[in-house]
Amino acid sequence: MKLEDFFFKMPKLKTEPIIDDTTLRDGIQMPGLAVKPNDAAKIAQFLCDVGVERLEVFHYQEPDKKAAKLIHDLKLDCRVAAWCRAVKEDIDSAIDLGFQEVGISHPVSHIHFKAKWPDKTDEQLLANVVDVVEYAAKDHGLRVFVHGEDSTRADWTFEKKWVNAVADAGAECYRVCDTVGIGLSDPDAPVVNGIPAKVKALKKETRIKALEIHAHDDFGNAVENTMAAIRAADGVWDKIYASTSYLGIGERAGNAETEKVLLNLYLHHGVMKYQGKTQMLKQIADFIGKATGYVVPPNKAIVGDYGFAHESGIHAHGIINDPLTYEPYPPELVGNTRRLTIGKQSGKGGIRHKITELSGAVPTDEQVATVVEQVKEIYANGRRASLKEEEFKKILRALKLMPETNGNGH
C-alpha cells in the first residue's frame, strides 16, 4: 500500500498549523498524575523531536522549577513557555527561570467573573490583565500569549474589547479556550461557541496577530474542534496554534490529543513537517504513561496496544490475507505493532496463523481443530480476556506442537 493512495488528498493548507503541547501543564493537572523533573525533561525532548514547536510548562512548585531548568539546559529546537496567572509575581518567576515567553491565563466569561471576583467590575479585571501583559511584553521583552479562559461562553462584544486591549498591550497571540468543551465545529454555529465562526471573527474584528485553539473534551469533541479551528483558519490566518496534550490527559475529560492532531495534519492535510516523525508516536505514549502513572487505554487510537489488534475470525482472516482490510495505515507508521490475539472470537484461520507464527510449522487441519476446541473450552469456563502469548504456547506445548522450554526459558 502507498499512503498516497488514500491520504494527502486535501488541498494544502494556506495556514501554518503549530502544535503547542500542554502535557507538562494542563496534562499533569489530571487528578492522580505526577511527573519527576528528569522524566519531564525527557518528555519535552520527545515532544520536540516528534514535531511539537512550542511547549507549555508549570513553574510554581520546586519540582516544576527543577524540570524547567532541565528543559532549558537541553537547548531544545522548540519554544518553551511558562504558564502564568495574571499576576506580576508569576511573570517574575518565569523571568528568574529563564523563560523568554509566557502564556497569561485569565477568564473572559461573566460566569467566571461573578464566581471569582464578585466585587470587581469588568473594567477593573481588564485593566489588571493589560497591566500584567504590558509588564511582561513591554517592560521585560517577553513574547506573550493571552489565554481567554471560557472563551466559548463569553460575551462577544466584551471579548472583542478584551482581545484588542491585550493586543495593544503587547500580546502576540490570543488563545480561544473551550474550557468546558461546549465548542461546536459546525461552520454555521454562531460566534459565541461556534469555533469556525469565532476563528474568522477574531481575524476580522480584532487586532491580535495570531490565534490559538485550546479545546477540552467534555463532549468528546476536542480533536474535532481543534481541526475545525485549523480548517477555519485556512486562508484567514497566516498561522494557527493548536494547544494539545499527549494522550489527551488533563483536567476532567482532558484535551485534544497531540498524537491525533499531528497524524490528522500529516495524513489528511499533507503537513509534511511531520513526515518521518510519526514512527515515534507509540514510544512517546508508552513513556508518558510510565512517567506520569497514566494507564494508556489499550484501545486508544494510534498508540494503544490494541490499536492494531485483531481477534475475531472475520477480522483475522482479512488481516492475514491483506492488512488493508481492517487497517487504515501500517502500524509501523506510528511505531505500533500488529497483533493477532487468541480469544473467544478467534476462528480457525487466526489460530492456524498463530500456531505457524509461534512454532514455525504449518499445522494440519486436525491439529488446528484440536487447538480450537481447547480454546473454546477455556472460554466456556468463564474466561473473558484474550489469552496471553505464554498461555497459548502452553496449549501448543501440551499438544506437542511446540518444544518444551528448558530451565532458562529457551
Give the DSSP per-residue string, 234-252: TTT-SEEEEEEBGGG-SST
pLDDT tens-digit map of 259-281: 999 999 999 999 999 999 999 99
**Contact criterion met (CB below 8 Å) for 249 and 292:** yes
In the chain, which residues fall in CATH 3.20.20.70? 3-292
Look at residue 406 in the predicted model and tell me its pLDDT.
53
For residue 138, give the C-alpha cell.
513591554
Q: Name the range with the highest mean pLDDT among 222-236, 324-338, 352-366.
A: 222-236
Confidence of residue 385 (pLDDT cuts 50, 70, 90): confident
Distance CA 387, CA 258 (A): 32
Which of 95-99, 240-244, 364-368 is predicted least confidently?
Answer: 364-368
CA atoms within 13 A on the CB side of 176: 38
Query: Which element (helix H / strand E) includes 210?
Result: strand 210-215
Residue type at 319 in one-letter notation:
I
- Average model confidence (pLDDT) across the chain: 94
* pLDDT higher than threshold 80 for residue 404: no
Confidence of residue 27 (pLDDT cuts 50, 70, 90): very high
Look at residue 191 in the predicted model and tell me its pLDDT.
94
Look at residue 186 in the predicted model and tell me its pLDDT.
98
* pLDDT higher than threshold 60 for residue 203: yes
Distance CA 60, CA 286 (A): 27
pLDDT exceeding 90 applies to what percent of the chain? 81
Helices (H), 74-217: 88-96, 110-116, 122-134, 156-169, 195-205
Query: Which element (helix H / strand E) includes 106?
Result: strand 101-107
Residue type at 162 in one-letter notation:
W
Q: Rounded mean pLDDT of 310-324?
A: 82
Counting every residue, how long is the chain? 410
Q: Rounded mean pLDDT of 234-262?
A: 98
Residue 31: left (phi > 0), alpha (psi -120 to 50), or beta? beta
Superfamily per CATH, domain 3-292: Aldolase class I (3.20.20.70)
Look at residue 407 in the predicted model and tell me its pLDDT.
46
For 87, other C-beta atoms within 10 Å of its C-beta total: 14
Higher pLDDT, 348 or 177: 177
* pLDDT higher than threshold 80 for residue 38: yes
* pLDDT higher than threshold 50 for residue 102: yes
Higher pLDDT, 5 or 48: 48
**Contact criterion met (CB below 8 Å) for 171 and 146:** yes
* pLDDT higher than threshold 60 for residue 408: no
Confidence of residue 405 (pLDDT cuts 50, 70, 90): low
* pLDDT higher than threshold 60 for residue 410: no
pLDDT tens-digit map of 155-192: 999 999 999 999 999 999 999 999 999 999 999 999 99
| 156-176 exposure pattern, b = at least 16 Cβ within 10 A, e = fewer | beebbbbbebbbebbbebbbb
Look at residue 182 in the predicted model and tell me its pLDDT.
98
Look at residue 344 in the predicted model and tell me its pLDDT.
86
Look at residue 402 in the predicted model and tell me its pLDDT.
85
pLDDT tens-digit map of 278-301: 999 999 999 999 999 999 999 999
Q: Rounded mean pLDDT of 213-232?
A: 98
Higher pLDDT, 316 or 162: 162
* pLDDT higher than threshold 70 for residue 80: yes
